[in-house]
Amino acid sequence: MENIVSLCKRRGFIFQSSGIYGGINGCWDFGPLGVELKRNLKEDWWYNFVGQRDDIVGLDASIIMHPKVWEASGHLDEFHDMLVDCKECKKRFREDHLETEVCPDCGGEFTEPRTFNMMLKTRLGANDATAVETYLRPETCQAIFANFKEVYTSSRMQVPFGIAQVGKAFRNEINPRNFIFRSREFEQMEIEFFCKAEDEDKFFEEWKTHIWQWYLDIGLDEDKMRWYSHPQESLSHYSSRTEDVEYEFPFGWGELQGLANRGNFDLTQHTKFSGKDLSYFDPQTNERFMPSVIEPSAGADRTAMAILCNSYEEEEVGDKGDTRVVMKIHPRLAPIKAAVLPLVKKDGIAELAQDFERKLRKKFNTFYDQSGAIGRRYRRMDEAGTPFCICVDYDTKEDGTVTVRDRDSMEQVRMPMDDVAAYVQGKCSFERD
Ligand code: ATP
């Protein structure tokens, strides 16, 4: 894990937030490579679950909502963790994360457990007396429920259908830890799939297949993934069934995505609290009913972290015992798709390479590097997870061909410059076979 964290900082994937002030716990910043990786994974998710389906539409709602939303959703009463304090060192712990009866740090005795609401409060309005107190959303889905009627009437969608959203969520986690795994500000990628009550189990099973497949499509190793089924007594207040996809991180198994059967809890609650009827009228059967909801809820940051952990490899290369660090990020998600490297700077080779890089840049993310020995430049690109390195050399001047080096196999093939863009695009496309 330390090697991955250090590579993330060194190469500009992830930095601690406000690092120059000593950092702030539970908040992280994605650097130049990290932001590209995260954008790609969110775009691939959207491509796969919204763009390629005719039964899902998107939404991008406000982070701050009417405070009543959080009363209706149950978050005001139910969204808490049980906390205990160590009587000796005063450190605070989540009761469900403890494996010992006494403080793991100093052996001290604990206080009685008490509840701690995890929503982050904020205030809207300039005047202290009239400002409205509300919350930064702890999950993105409540805006989907609140907009359910607007969406289906404006888009003319019919149940069964889904609404997808990607956006920030905030939780005042008691012990943010394990790098970006448990943060206080993070991004979720959520779908609320509305269906008839009798179809809940059918769609639950379908969604299990779809979400599992997506992790394989973005390159996670299947033997590092598993399903965890929540026992009845540990289900959230809105769920009758929840199964999580877990990934085996270097620190152990951790949740990547939760799949929940929320029934009609949320639409019923918002109907009650807002006084607006959120039931659905089925034009085919002339029936009115409150749809049930199957919810796949994934974290973008945790997915990014799983990708980084899954991609990191140290390999021995050559026969001199040299090692290379290589990030085997799926080409679909790789921050830089191709690096253009002139073999030498002289004899017009650098200019030729630069011109070529400018052409490729119009189609996908590229990087130009002419400094240092070619082997060192390849290694730098291996660490950045760049799937293809294109070397421009003397033969390029003669016959217009370049070598394309594959990051994972390190094999090089020679091809005409004109073929390179289509070759790289073919490997990096979101399109599935
Ligand atoms: P955990 O049990 O790990 O606290 P959760 O069950 O509360 O997570 P959900 O409410 O199901 O999580 O949220 C859906 C997804 O949002 C999670 O699968 C995870 O990917 C992401 N997520 C939730 N909390 C955090 C967090 N604190 N930091 C980063 N991602 C998070």
Determine the pLDDT at residue 296: 98
Q: Which atom of ligand 1 is nearest to the CA of 254?
A: 3
Determine the pLDDT at residue 76: 87
> Any idea which fold 336-428 has?
Rossmann fold (3.40.50)
For range 146-161, the mean pLDDT: 96
In the chain, ranges of CATH 3.30.930.10 domains: 2-64+121-308
Q: Which atom of ligand 1 is nearest to the CA of 299?
A: 20
For range 372-384, the mean pLDDT: 95
pLDDT above 80 (res 293): yes
Q: Characterise 44 by phi-psi region: left (phi > 0), alpha (psi -120 to 50), beta (else).
A: alpha
Q: Which residues line ligand 1 (CB under 6 A)?
A: 139, 171, 173, 182-183, 186, 188, 255-258, 297-299, 301-302
Angle of helix 2-11 relative to helix 300-311, nearest 10 degrees, comes to 100
For range 210-230, the mean pLDDT: 97
Determine the pLDDT at residue 168: 98
Among 186, 226, 243, 261, the mutation site with the greatest number of ligand 1 atoms within 8 A of its Cβ is 186
**How many degrees, rounded to 5, is the angle at CA 368 between CA 362 and CA 374?**
145
β-pair type (120-124, 132-136): antiparallel
Give dist(CA 91, CA 82) in Å, integer.
14
Determine the pLDDT at residue 127: 87
Determine the pLDDT at residue 82: 82
339 Cα–ligand 1 center, Å: 36
Q: Given 3.20.20.330, 2.40.50.140, 3.30.930.10, 3.40.30.10, which CATH number is that of 2-64+121-308?
A: 3.30.930.10
299 Cα–ligand 1 center, Å: 7
For range 199-209, the mean pLDDT: 97
Q: Which atom of ligand 1 is nearest to the CA of 244?
A: 18
Q: What is the pLDDT of residues 312-329, one digit of tens each?
A: 999 998 878 889 999 999
Among 297, 305, 307, the mutation site with the greatest number of ligand 1 atoms within 8 A of its Cβ is 297
Determine the pLDDT at residue 47: 98
- Which residues are CB-contacts of 316 (< 8 A; sequence separation ≥ 6)? 322, 323
pLDDT above 90 (res 34): yes
Q: What is the pLDDT of residues 40-79, one digit of tens each?
A: 999 999 999 999 999 999 999 999 999 999 999 999 888 7
Q: pLDDT class for 91, splitting at 50, 70, 90?
A: confident
pLDDT above 80 (res 80): no
Determine the pLDDT at residue 355: 97
pLDDT above 90 (res 399): yes
Contact 175, 104 (CB under 8 A): no
For range 135-162, the mean pLDDT: 96
Q: What is the pLDDT of residues 228-257, one digit of tens each?
A: 999 988 888 888 899 999 999 999 999 999
For range 194-200, the mean pLDDT: 97
In the chain, ranges of CATH 3.40.50.800 domains: 336-428
Report the nearest-CA residue for atom 31 of ligand 1: 299
Q: What is the pLDDT of residues 363-376, one digit of tens each?
A: 999 999 999 999 99
Report the nearest-CA residue for atom 26 of ligand 1: 182
For range 152-159, the mean pLDDT: 94
Contact 17, 34 (CB under 8 A): no
Q: Which atom of ligand 1 is nearest to the CA of 257?
A: 18
Q: What is the pLDDT of residues 405-424, one digit of tens each?
A: 999 999 999 999 999 999 99
Q: Which atom of ligand 1 is nearest to the CA of 188?
A: 16
Determine the pLDDT at residue 155: 95
Report the nearest-CA residue for atom 19 of ligand 1: 299
Determine the pLDDT at residue 97: 81
For range 117-134, the mean pLDDT: 90
Rg (CA), the chain: 25
Position 367, amino acid? F
- Which residues are CB-contacts of 329 (< 8 A; sequence separation ≥ 6)? 37, 219, 307, 308, 311, 335, 385, 387
247 Cα–ligand 1 center, Å: 13
Average pLDDT, the chain: 94
Give dist(CA 8, CA 305) in Å, integer.
10
Report the nearest-CA residue for atom 9 of ligand 1: 258
Give dist(CA 409, CA 333) in Å, integer.
18
Determine the pLDDT at residue 426: 96
Determine the pLDDT at residue 331: 97
Q: Characterise 68 by phi-psi region: left (phi > 0), alpha (psi -120 to 50), beta (else).
A: alpha
Threshold 0.75, pTM exceeds: yes
- Report the percentage of the chain scoring pLDDT > 90: 83
**How many degrees, rounded to 5, is the angle at CA 122 between CA 118 and CA 127?**
155
Give dist(CA 139, CA 119) in Å, integer.
10
Give dist(CA 239, CA 263) in Å, integer.
7
